[in-house]
Structure 1
Amino acid sequence: MRFIWTQLTSMRTALMLLLLLAVAAVPGSLFPQRRAGADIVETWIDDNPTIGPILDFLGMFDVYSSVWFSAIYLMLFVSLVGCLWPRGRQHLKTLRQPPARTPRNLKRLPEYGQLVLESDGPTPKEALVDAEKILKKSGYRTELRDGSVGAERGYFREVGNILFHFGLLGVIVFMGIGGLFKYEGQKIIVEGDGFANNLVSYDSFTPGTAFSEDRLSPFSIQLDDFDVVYDRESETHYGQALDYTAAMQVTPGPGEETYQDAIKVNDPLTIDGVRIFLVGNGYAPNITVRDGNDDIAYSGPVIAQIQDPNTNSSLVVLKAPDAKPEQLGFVGMFLPTSYTGDDGVAVSIDPDAFNPELILNSYYGDLGLDDGTPQNVYVLDTDRMTELNSRNNDAGGITLGVGDTHELPDDMGSITFDSWDRYVGLDIHYDPSKWGVGFFSALALVALVMSLYIRRRRAWVKATEQDGRTVIEYGLLARGEAFGLRDENIKLRQSFDTTWPVIPPNTSEDT
Structure 2
Amino acid sequence: MSDIKDIETGTEAPAARQAPEEVPRPRGIGPLGWLRWGWRQLTTMRTALILLFLVALGAVPGSALPQRGQAPEKVAAYLSDHKTLGPLFDKLSLFDVFAAPWFAAIYILLFVSLAGCVIPRAVKHYQSMRARPPAAPRNLGRLPQSVSYETDAAPEDVLAEARKVLRGRRFRVDVSDGSAAAEKGYLGETGNLVFHLALLGLLFALGAGNMFGYRGSVLLTEGKTFANSLGQYDDFTPGRLFDDGDLAPFTIGLDDFKAKYEMQGDKRGQATSFDAWIHYRDKPSGKDQKYDLRINHPLKVGGTKVYLLGHGYAPKFTVKDAKGNVAFQDTVPFLAMEPRNLTSEGVIKVPDAEPDQLAFYAILWPTAVASEDGKQIVSAFPGALRPVITLSSFKGDLGLDSGTPQSVYKLEGIGKTLQPIKGGEKLLEPGETFKLPGDAGSITFDGMSEYVTMSVNHDPGRIPALVAAVLAVLGVATSFLVRRRRVWVRASAGKGGRTVVEVGGLTLGNPTSEFDDIVTALRGPDAPAGDDASQGEAGPDGGAGAEPEHDGAEQKKNGAAQKDGAEPEKDGTEPEQDGSEPEQNGSEAEPGADRGSGSATEPKE
Shorter-chain TM-score above 0.5: yes
1:509 aligns with 2:593: yes
Is the aligned partner of 1:414 residue 2:442? yes
Q: Distance in 1 between matches of 2:51 and 2:459?
A: 26
The CA deviation at 1:114 is 3.1
SS of corresponding position for 2:329: strand
1:79 corresponds to which residue? 113
Residue deviations 1:429-464 (CA, integer Å, cap 9, x gap) = 111111111111221221121222221222212234
| Structure 1 residues 428-467: aligned runs within 5 Å | 428-466=456-494, 467=496
Matched, 1:359 2:390: yes
Q: What is the aligned partner in structure 1 of residue 156 from structure 2?
A: 125
Alpha-carbon shift at residue 500 of structure 1 (Å): 5.1
Q: Is the 8 A contact 2:249 2:302 kept in 1?
A: no
Give the 3-state SS of the residue equivalent to 2:449 in structure 1. strand
In structure 2, C-alpha distance between the alignment counterparts of 1:46 and 1:346, rounded to whole Å: 31
Partner in structure 2 of residue 392 of structure 1: none
Structure 1 pair 362–270 and aligned structure 2 pair: CA distance change class (3 A): same
In structure 2, how many angstroms separate the alpha carbons of the residues matched to 1:510 and 1:299?
94
Match of 2:300 in 1: 270
Deviation at 1:213, TM superposition (A): 0.8
Secondary structure at 1:164 match in 2: helix
Q: What is the rounded CA distance, in whole Å, between the counterparts of 2:491 and 2:201 in structure 1? A: 49
Counterpart position of 2:124: 90
Which residue of 2 is the match for residue 143 of structure 1? 174
1:466-501 residue CA offsets vs partner (Å, 9 max, x unmatched): 44554432222234xx23x15444444555566451
Match of 1:217 among 242, 248, 252: 248
Deviation at 1:238, TM superposition (A): 4.0
Equivalent AA in structure 1 for residue 502 of structure 2:
E
Indicate if the aligned counterparts of 2:336 and 2:345 stay in contact, CA closer than 8 A. yes
Structure 2 residues without counterparts, runs of 5 or longer:
1-34, 533-544, 547-590, 596-605
2:45 is aligned with 1:20: no
Distance 1:156 1:430, change over 3 A: same
| Match runs of 1:159-238 below 5 Å | 159-232=190-263, 235-238=265-268
Tell me which moved more, 450-459 or 62-71: 62-71
Structure-1 separation of matches of 2:448 and 2:427: 15
- Of Structure 1 and Structure 2, the greater strand share is in 1
Letter in 2 for 1:312: L
Give the partner amino acid of 1:414.
S
Look up the match of 1:282. 312
Q: CA deviation at 1:409?
A: 3.1
Q: Tell me, in whole angstroms, the C-alpha distance in 1 between the residues paired with 2:295 and 2:166.
A: 55
**Partner of residue 555, structure 2:** none
Residue by residue, what CA displacement relative to the aligned partner does 1:51-74 show, whole Å, maximum 9, x if unpaired?
A: 444444433344333333332232
Once the two structures are overlaid, the 10-residue window that deviates more, 97-106 or 22-31, is 22-31
Rounded Cα–Cα distance in structure 1 between residues aligned with 2:444 and 2:109: 62
Tell me the CA shift for residue 225 of structure 1. 1.5
Gaps of 5+ in 1: 390-394
> Is 1:68 aligned with 2:97?
no
Query: Is the 8 Å Cα contact of residues 277 and 428 (structure 1) preserved in structure 2?
Result: yes
Whether 1:247 and 2:247 are equivalent positions in the alignment is no
- Letter of the 1:165 counterpart: H
Higher relative contact order (CA 8 A, sep 6+): 1
Aligned length: 499
CA deviation string 1:185-239 (max 9, x = no partner): 111111110011111111111111111111111111111112233445x634344
1:425 matched to 2:453: yes
Q: In 1, are the aligned partners of 2:42 and 2:113 still within 8 Å (CA)? A: yes
Larger Rg: 2
Instruction: Give the alignment partner of residue 261 of structure 1, picking from 288, 291, 304.
Output: 291
CA contact (8 A) 2:391 2:424 kept: no
Q: Deviations over 1:90-123 (max 9, x none)?
A: 1121111111110111111122233445x5xx44
* RMSD after superposition: 2.8
Matched, 1:154 2:211: no
Q: 1 CA distance for matches of 2:517 and 2:406?
A: 76
Q: Return the alpha-carbon distance in structure 1 between the equivalents of residues 391 and 524 of structure 2.
A: 91
**Secondary structure of 2:317 counterpart:** strand
Counterparts of 2:158 and 2:453, CA distance in 1: 75
- 3-state secondary structure, aligned to 1:99: coil
Structure 1 position 477 matched with structure 2 position 506: yes
